[in-house]
Structure 1
Amino acid sequence: MKISEASEALQRIGLSRYEALVFVNLARAGAATAGDVARASGVNRVQTYRALEGLEARGLVEVTLDRPRRYAARALQDVFDMIADEKKAELEKLDAVRKMLLEEWPKISGRRREPPSVRLQVIKGRAQIYRTLRQFVASSREEVLAFTTTKGLQRSYRAGINEVLVEAMRHGVKPRLLADVDATNQVLMARVAKVVPLRHVDRQRARFIIVDRESILAFLIQDERTIRGEGETALWTNSPDFVKAHRDFFEKAWAAAVPARRRLAALRPH
């Protein structure tokens, strides 16, 4: 692994750019002065001292009593344990603030207002979309209708949406799923069909989910150009007209679709 890659990895767990560079070079050098670290890392002395002070304050480096002072990086496992403790403390603080605000908010906000009858939310980024979708399916009480694709199913599995749906089914929720079942995805679709009523539609790329005939989450922009799908965009709404139009479309497609068992049988080599 390159120094730059190790530095970027440390930034992802909470170190600043200069802290990460200084820590990696300090770990390579062993005990070293601030000047030694500055020369090795290519960071100017002012930024090096600030980075070392920040790392020392978090307990991620040790300091000797020598003159000039010498610094040593803590063992990497210790660093991860300390950062994990920091994150845990942050989450506990966040939860305490959440509970306090939820309890006091009615007093601050005054008279409770009824939410507007028709609401709409635009959701951007694949990660946020699938988090919302997971919550959306978990909120179902009666029915989940899904028009999806192979990649949509694969990402739903990774996001744990299938587990949420199975749990909802244990409480009486009835799902139905429409997708294009072909030779490239038949293994996945056979697995899905064992759990959820599934039918095949030819070359359809629509993607939407309707819950309890009340609200819909529809994919507007599908971003396959990037790994994380930052450009992916979805729309959630409880607009009765919008929901009804998509439900009617689903029901017509369902009536004309081929049951998964028959489609999978046709795909098997004879």
Structure 2
Amino acid sequence: MNEESTVEALTRLGLTTYEARVFVALQRLGTGTASDIAEITAVPRSQVYGAADDLQDRGLLDVQQTRPTVYRPVSPEEAERRLLSQLESVGQEAFGYLEEIRGSADSDDERSEAIWTVQGRANVRDRVVDLIGDADDRIVYGTPRPELLEDEVLAALTEAAETGVDVTVVSDESSVLESVPADGPIRTVPQPADRQPEVSTARILLADGGTLLMSVVSAAVEDDDQETAFWSAGTAFATVLVTLSEELIELDR
């Protein structure tokens, strides 16, 4: 890493470019005046004072009130600790506020029509796991592809079943059903091929009568980016499709 990349890295940690250049210059000098700093860095002397004041406010340098003023930086280790601590604090405040306002401007009509898409196998899997974790009463998970009953999905289904959720895995492929431990809390149901949806469904998740995720693949599933899913929860759209899907699957209630 050279000086320019170090300056860039420091700006990513919250310093301005002038602050970063002044701090790097002081690390070279050990101590120095505004004139000393301006001589070895691309910061005009008139701008050094303001940058140094801001660095002092951040706790990154000490100031000797002499004529001329002399600046001394804290050690790189101390600067790292303080910058990361400040960054963490600012991040917590920002994301805390985002959590507070999340969804506050949505109208009921907007929420009622929420249909989302997810692209890529890993992203689809993660969304499936999240939706399983949100279920309270009933889950049906179906796929004809053994590779789409991933370890993460099976673990989430098992955890849900162990907390009292009614969990069923359906498939027309015995290898999928055999992936589910026979002595575990998950029920398995063989699904005849003629009861499968006629679209090229890769996986389907139904939960609590009002949550649906359905994915398709447009190429070999080994290409992780070729799985695309749509999902919806708590909407009239999802409720209707869940009902139709459960009727198609013909699960014993």
**TM-score grouping bracket, smaller chain normalisation:** 0.5 to 0.7
Partner secondary structure for residue 63 of structure 1: strand
Aligned to 2:163: 171
Equivalent of 1:120, from 104, 114, 123? 114
- CA distance in structure 2 between the partners assigned to 1:130 and 1:35 by the alignment: 58
**Which protein is bigger by CA-based radius of gyration?**
2
- Aligned 8 A contact 2:139 2:205 in 1: no
Instruction: Give the counterpart letter for 1:79 in structure 2.
Output: A
Compute the displacement of 1:172 (Å). Answer: 3.5
Please give the root-mean-square deviation of Cα atoms over the aligned residues, in Å: 5.3
Partner secondary structure for residue 112 of structure 2: coil
> Are residues 1:143 and 2:144 paired?
no
Q: 1:243 to 1:74 in 2, by over 3 A?
A: farther
Compute the displacement of 1:134 (Å). Answer: 6.0
Report Cα offsets for 1:93-144 as digits up to 9, x if no partner: 8758977x89xx9xxx9xxx85667331557999999987665343122326
Partner secondary structure for residue 71 of structure 2: strand
- CA distance in structure 1 between the partners assigned to 2:206 and 2:14 by the alignment: 39
Q: 1:83 to 1:118 in 2, by over 3 A?
A: same
Compute the displacement of 1:59 (Å). Answer: 0.9
Aligned to 1:268: none
Instruction: Give the counterpart letter for 1:145 in structure 2.
Output: Y
Count of residues paired in the alignment: 214
Partner secondary structure for residue 11 of structure 2: helix
Structure 1 residues not aligned, in runs of 5+: 179-188, 199-203, 221-228, 252-270
Aligned to 1:88: 89
Identical-residue share of aligned pairs (%): 24
Aligned to 1:65: 65
Q: Describe how 1:212-223 pairs up with structure 2 within 5 A.
A: 212-216=208-212
Q: 1:115 to 1:17 in 2, by over 3 A?
A: same
Structure 2 residues not aligned, in runs of 5+: 189-199, 217-224
Aligned to 1:28: 28
Report Cα offsets for 1:130-188 as digits up to 9, x if no partner: 9876653431223263769989969xx7xxx887666434313437599xxxxxxxxxx
Equivalent of 2:232, from 232, 237, 261? 237
- Aligned 8 A contact 1:22 1:48 in 2: yes
Aligned to 1:51: 51
- CA distance in structure 1 between the partners assigned to 2:149 and 2:49 by the alignment: 49
Q: 1:93 to 1:8 in 2, by over 3 A?
A: closer
> Are residues 1:13 and 2:13 paired?
yes
TM, length-normalised to structure 1: 0.51
- CA distance in structure 2 between the partners assigned to 1:13 and 1:114 by the alignment: 39
Report Cα offsets for 1:164-223 as digits up to 9, x if no partner: 666434313437599xxxxxxxxxx9xx9779999xxxxx89577554452345679xxx
